[in-house]
Structure 1
Amino acid sequence: MRKIGILSPYKGYFKEAIFYLEELNEKYRSLYFGENEYILEEIVVDPFHFHGIRDDVDVMIAYSGYMELTKNLSKPIPIVEVDIPNFDILIGLMECKQKYGCQKVALTITKRNMLISVKEFEDILGISIELFIIDSLDTNYQKICDLALKRGCEAFLAHYYIGTYAASKGINTVMIQYSKSTFWQAITEAKMAAQLYCLSQEKSVKLNTILDYTDEGIIYFNKQGKITSINQKAMELLNIESETSVLNKTATAMIFGKELIELLNDGSEYKYKIIKINHTDFTIKKIFVHLEEMSLGTLITLQKVNNIQKLEEEIRKQKYGKGHIAKACFKDIIGQSEIMKGVIAKATKYSKTESNILITGESGTGKEIMAQSIHNSSNRKNGPFVAINCAALPETLLESELFGYEEGAFTGAARKGKIGLFELAHNGTIFLDEISELPLLFQAKLLRVIQEKEVYRLGGIKVIPLDVRFISATNQNLKDLVEKGEFREDLYYRLNVLNLNLPSLNERREDIFLLAQHFLDNNSPDIILTNEAKLMLQAFDWPGNIRQLFNICEQLSVLCDDCLVKEQNVRDLLYLQSSLSFSSEGTQQYSDYQMGENDDQKAETLQTDISEAEKIRTVLAAVKYNRNEAAEVLNIHRSTLWRKMKKYGI
């Protein structure tokens, strides 16, 4: 519902016209225009005690000299100005002649362009007309009345205020009345104006919403170099408190900086140009605005360079970086041994730095979990964690996968090119597992990436800056490989800024039970290890470390009965391991537990079984698993060898 306001000298001044309109509408005081409903309201204004006009309407009708009262409205609403129609003036002059029999009438008007109709009125009515132009509501009405009487005027045809004054002095007066058709025309224009204004406001709101929600600051300078429009983002970027503080001011007056002023004045357009404004780097676009051949002004857009970098990082993360996250944290690492506590404490310190880290340790000791934990404890935890197994990538694909490539870089390249793993790790961590397996030729290229913090895609010429931290891992002795010429010494020192050595499972035997119980609980929380089973696990020599223990526990969770893991369950699985062996320390612990009174034979049997299994494995390996030769070396029958191999799971 929309309101039409009509400025009126008093309530009911337009009641006859309103009543006429009410008769034409089904709803009381409602007018319809298209799909909108309009309500008509009089706004009473006393120009002699003026304190402003209420503006809670969508459009306003102002008659005669009321226009000057609308200049200071608090919001820009459309105003429909209604002139006095010639027909209404003619009716008023006829009333003056008929009512008072006068030959000379004083006519007050508000616009000089009505003078052209006066002569015609005189000819039609056969009377003389004296014109008085009311330029302002502050006009001295007494002076006009005195002058009219002095000039022989016998009656006044006037608007409400001067007419009221003249009548109060006893002067013959006729008030100018607005005809129904005049009123209807004003209402029709007001409805059209309101409709157009609302459409304009709707477009303005849409445009402002677009401008304010764009990531770029936008400033428009007119051809005099003054700011006529600025969006919210530009105000934020330039620390401008309010729009009014910059409108109609030049860039020089706003102290935007020398570089921006030079850019505005140099007569060139720019797609991208980096300049400094108030000690901050911005990327600027500048275009000239024309209407046909006429220059209207200049439009510039600006963004902080670091905002563009953040946006690029977010795009990389959302478009390409799915899955490149670190899941593990230090609290996820299981271990109560002193050696493991020391490793975690050192790794925590390392995580607070930006230095590259080399993690060493046997296969299966949890190097990637440690790398993920370091990442998640660092300032880069919100960035990507990109893990690369250097041994898993063929040498022919290594460079294209890590560096990426442009369209057409090589036969079979993707049509739009491909982003490399180095780029995906921007503002995060890149984990290079099995770093010792990198070919020497590629080691030189990796060294340059670490030193320069930038990459080129295959087939590309664009330099892509990188902000990454390198964490590498290996189960080899890189120092030995350097001495053999199989690993670059300069790369070794770049990677091995901080060193972290992970202990083998055999070096942290007190953690074996904790790890085993954790792995079993993941499969079934109700599984319990007997004491004999625990000692059996602790007695075993774990060449595959935690990965091998995890494998055993997964099998135990399936093979055990009634959620109880017994010694025999463990024994059966350990005998099936291809490298069955028990440490002397672990075997002694197990033997001490198993021996009681008259139990010497149990420990001796275990030791005998272990020694015999190891002997058979050694001989088989030496003769390349030729069973006939192995039986001869062991001095046993071939069928006996078969039974023992079956017993020990060989």
Structure 2
Amino acid sequence: MSLKVVVVSWGQLTNVVREVQSQLSGEAQIELVEGLFDQQTTLEMARQIEASGQVDVFVSGGGNARMLRHNLQTPVVAVTVSGYDMLKTILQSRTGDETVYFVHFSEIIHELNDLKEVLPFPVNQVALKTPAEGEAFFNELSRQEQPVVIVGASLAWDLARRHGLKAVYVYTPKAVLEALERAVELARVRRQEMEKTQRVQAILDFACDGIIACDQQGIITAFNPAAEMITGISSQGATGRPVGEVVPSLKLEAVISSDRGLFNQLERIKDKEVMVNKVPVIVRGEPRGAVATLHDIVTIQKAEHQIRLKARREGLEAKTTFAEIVGESQIIQQTIAQARQYARSEATILIMGETGTGKELFAQAIHNASQRQGQPFVAINCAAVPENLLESELFGYEEGAFTGARKSGKLGLFELAHGGTMFLDEIGDISQAIQIKLLRFLQQKEIMRVGGQYTIPVDVRVIAATNRDLLAAVREGTFRADLYYRLNVLPLHLPPLRERKEDIPVLLRDMLFKANRALARYAPVIAREILLHLPAYSWPGNVRELQNIAERIMALALTANLSEHQVQELIGMVLQQGAYEETVKIKAGDLSLRAGERKDDLKKEIGNLEKEVILEALRQTRGNKTRAAALLGVSRSTLWRKLREDIS
């Protein structure tokens, strides 16, 4: 929108404006409005223009400019004549011995009185009040024999000419152009200030925090809608009144003369707990007021809850689908088909399988094939979390539940999984106390936080997983029978890799393709070499162990262009580094010998053999359990459990 300058003009001034307005640069729009000498009528016309909002600055001359300035909110620029231009006009107006009259309809111009003292001829200044007074004055001048010259603005200039007197117009084109240029610049600055004010007002109106500002006298200058909601006081009733009278408990006036602010102050405003920040407004080192921001405590608590909930929910999603579970063997396809059927149900699923068989992958695929797809999928390894922390992780805790607890408490994983699926891996390792709480949830579909006094209903489907024989644990008394039967509604057994060795080529191809597409074409050769070197290997780490072999191959393959002989050498190097041949020898040779000697205690011999393999791995890794677990192709938690069983 272009700048709008309205010139309230009359008579000759209109002609001069039209003459010079084309010399203005920029996008300003000049509108000429013919006024009258009747100032009341001119003022009403100007007020109508101002009310329409279609003006940035008014321009006028003489008495009209002063009158408009006193009665309008919009800035008014007066057409003025400098002392030099006034002197030049007077000197040029006198061609002989004429008497010079400077006539205007306004108050005496004192600057002209100063100029009269330096002129070599007399200059008479006449200030008229009304057109009738002007008619009488010019009638009298026209009867005199002494020649005169009249210098004046529009009305004086027009009356003099009508009475046959010589007249010179006082407003030169230069003076009018300068007035228009000042008006355009003022309009530009005013438009910028208005836009800035509107932006600030928009910020105040849409800010979520209450904002109250006052000037140096403590009078409220800003009171936004959020402040209205927090205090229950209307903005109209607050603005313009002393802040100590409107919100006495705020004590904002005390901050005006202070050199520092007060932050995070808990105050009560009309029976409501509010967090307040108060700062003084300093302009050029002088206090000019103060500003307070108000935050409703309840709103802060709700926002904190939502932020924490959103932050915890990020990443709580299942990424795997059944289409991404690799395997062409009949046994894995049957397992997938059974899992697809389970996905249609809401009943609890118990996934049983050795470490590395993909229990969490199946849990994610079941979730993504169920009606809970798109809802949270929360997974936790129960064996990896210390027993004293597992309860608070699963069920959350209230404020002050124990030493070190957060002041606001904490959401449990069951609450985060609301509407979705909870995957409890290594379920066989949970304590009796947590077994009881988990059983209550499965029966009642509600949880109670640690330190809580009320139950929270939660809609969560549970998928549990274990690599232990839970039924044997029930017989031994380490696992509750009622919980076992609550979990084992839909049992799903995952086959170990040794029962589906025909899937090794496709598994390798998938692993290599995802990480190094150039090596994926060697998957059949790599698989053949592995099966050739490890014909009787039991794959204790299952698919995870095969993944470790694939990663070693990618790490040792210096180039993607390998001959079959180079592939064979590479596989031999990888298997030798992993001590797989020695393991096979122990399992295939020594085990058969011992089994032949003591067939009646096969389970014990397998346990002893497992212990020997673990100790050998620890010896090779110099006691580093993380590296030993990787070497054996098992998780660190499984290695720890095996060691605890050996110790016990």
Q: TM-score, normalised by structure 2?
A: 0.51
Residue number among 406, 416, 436 corresponding to 1:444 in the alignment = 436
The reply to whether residue 63 of structure 1 matches residue 52 of structure 2 is: no
**Aligned twin of 1:369:** 361
Contact 2:138 2:163 in 1 (8 A): no
Contact 1:512 1:537 in 2 (8 A): no
Helix, strand or coil: the match of 1:315? Answer: helix
The reply to whether residue 615 of structure 1 matches residue 635 of structure 2 is: no
* Cα distance change, pair 198–520 in 1 and its aligned pair in 2 (3 A): closer
**Aligned twin of 1:358:** 350
Helix, strand or coil: the match of 2:129? Answer: strand
- Code of the residue aligned with 1:149 in structure 2: it is E
**Aligned twin of 2:631:** none
Provide the rounded CA distance (Å) in 2 between the counterparts of 1:203 and 1:616.
Answer: 96
Matches within 5 A, 1:154-173: 159-160=153-154, 162=155, 166=159, 169=162, 172=165
* Cα distance change, pair 284–473 in 1 and its aligned pair in 2 (3 A): farther
- CA deviations over 1:40-76 (Å, ceiling 9, x no partner): 97835254899999x9x99756234479999xx9xx9
**Aligned twin of 1:472:** 464
* Cα distance change, pair 578–68 in 1 and its aligned pair in 2 (3 A): farther
The reply to whether residue 502 of structure 1 matches residue 483 of structure 2 is: no
* Cα distance change, pair 492–159 in 1 and its aligned pair in 2 (3 A): farther
Contact 1:289 1:299 in 2 (8 A): no
**Aligned twin of 1:602:** none
- Code of the residue aligned with 1:374 in structure 2: it is I
**Aligned twin of 1:390:** 382
Matches within 5 A, 1:403-422: 422=413
- Code of the residue aligned with 2:567 in structure 1: it is C
The reply to whether residue 149 of structure 1 matches residue 135 of structure 2 is: yes
- Code of the residue aligned with 1:329 in structure 2: it is T
Provide the rounded CA distance (Å) in 2 between the counterparts of 1:325 and 1:220.
Answer: 44
CA RMSD of aligned residues (A): 7.4
Contact 1:92 1:176 in 2 (8 A): no
- Code of the residue aligned with 1:177 in structure 2: it is Y
Question: Any unmatched runs of 5+ in structure 2?
Answer: 36-44, 115-121, 142-149, 215-221, 229-233, 238-245, 251-264, 282-286, 513-518, 558-563, 609-648
Matches within 5 A, 1:125-274: 129-132=127-130, 144=131, 148-149=134-135, 159-160=153-154, 162=155, 166=159, 169=162, 172=165, 175-177=169-171, 198=192, 201=195, 205=199, 207=200, 216=208
Contact 2:4 2:28 in 1 (8 A): yes
Provide the rounded CA distance (Å) in 2 between the counterparts of 1:514 and 1:618.
Answer: 32
User: Displacement of 1:368 after TM fit?
Assistant: 1.2
Provide the rounded CA distance (Å) in 1 between the counterparts of 2:324 and 2:469.
Answer: 28
Contact 2:57 2:183 in 1 (8 A): no
**Which stretch of structure 1 is more off in the superposition, 349-358 or 534-543?**
534-543
Provide the rounded CA distance (Å) in 2 between the counterparts of 1:271 and 1:490.
Answer: 51
Contact 2:422 2:462 in 1 (8 A): yes
Helix, strand or coil: the match of 1:131? Answer: coil
Provide the rounded CA distance (Å) in 2 between the counterparts of 1:375 and 1:79.
Answer: 70
Contact 1:5 1:42 in 2 (8 A): yes
Provide the rounded CA distance (Å) in 2 between the counterparts of 1:68 and 1:355.
Answer: 87
**Aligned twin of 1:316:** 312
User: Displacement of 1:472 after TM fit?
Assistant: 1.9
Provide the rounded CA distance (Å) in 2 between the counterparts of 1:128 and 1:12.
Answer: 24
User: Displacement of 1:334 after TM fit?
Assistant: 1.5
Matches within 5 A, 1:269-284: none
* Cα distance change, pair 316–101 in 1 and its aligned pair in 2 (3 A): farther
Q: TM-score, normalised by structure 1?
A: 0.51
Helix, strand or coil: the match of 2:511? Answer: helix
Question: Any unmatched runs of 5+ in structure 1?
Answer: 20-28, 31-38, 133-143, 235-246, 251-264, 274-282, 582-607, 628-650
| Identical columns (%) | 27
- CA deviations over 1:61-100 (Å, ceiling 9, x no partner): 6234479999xx9xx9x74533768979998998999899
* Cα distance change, pair 67–431 in 1 and its aligned pair in 2 (3 A): farther
- Code of the residue aligned with 2:583 in structure 1: it is L
Total equivalences in the alignment: 506
Provide the rounded CA distance (Å) in 1 between the counterparts of 2:493 and 2:267.
Answer: 50
Residue number among 506, 524, 531 corresponding to 1:528 in the alignment = 524
- CA deviations over 1:331-384 (Å, ceiling 9, x no partner): 221233555445435545665777654333444432111123334556877776
* Cα distance change, pair 546–289 in 1 and its aligned pair in 2 (3 A): closer
* Cα distance change, pair 399–249 in 1 and its aligned pair in 2 (3 A): same
Residue number among 23, 27, 30 corresponding to 1:43 in the alignment = 30
Helix, strand or coil: the match of 1:374? Answer: helix
Helix, strand or coil: the match of 2:390? Answer: helix
User: Displacement of 1:505 after TM fit?
Assistant: 3.6
Contact 2:104 2:153 in 1 (8 A): no
User: Displacement of 1:433 after TM fit?
Assistant: 0.7
* Cα distance change, pair 166–344 in 1 and its aligned pair in 2 (3 A): farther
* Cα distance change, pair 624–347 in 1 and its aligned pair in 2 (3 A): closer
**Aligned twin of 2:77:** 81
Contact 1:17 1:180 in 2 (8 A): no
**Which stretch of structure 1 is more off in the superposition, 442-451 or 398-407?**
398-407
- CA deviations over 1:85-119 (Å, ceiling 9, x no partner): 8979998998999899799997445xxxx59999x
Helix, strand or coil: the match of 1:334? Answer: coil
Provide the rounded CA distance (Å) in 2 between the counterparts of 1:355 and 1:220.
Answer: 56
Provide the rounded CA distance (Å) in 1 between the counterparts of 2:129 and 2:85.
Answer: 12
* Cα distance change, pair 127–284 in 1 and its aligned pair in 2 (3 A): closer
Contact 1:130 1:153 in 2 (8 A): no
- Code of the residue aligned with 1:615 in structure 2: it is G
Contact 1:430 1:468 in 2 (8 A): yes
More helix by share: 2
* Cα distance change, pair 179–335 in 1 and its aligned pair in 2 (3 A): closer
Contact 1:528 1:565 in 2 (8 A): no
* Cα distance change, pair 490–202 in 1 and its aligned pair in 2 (3 A): farther
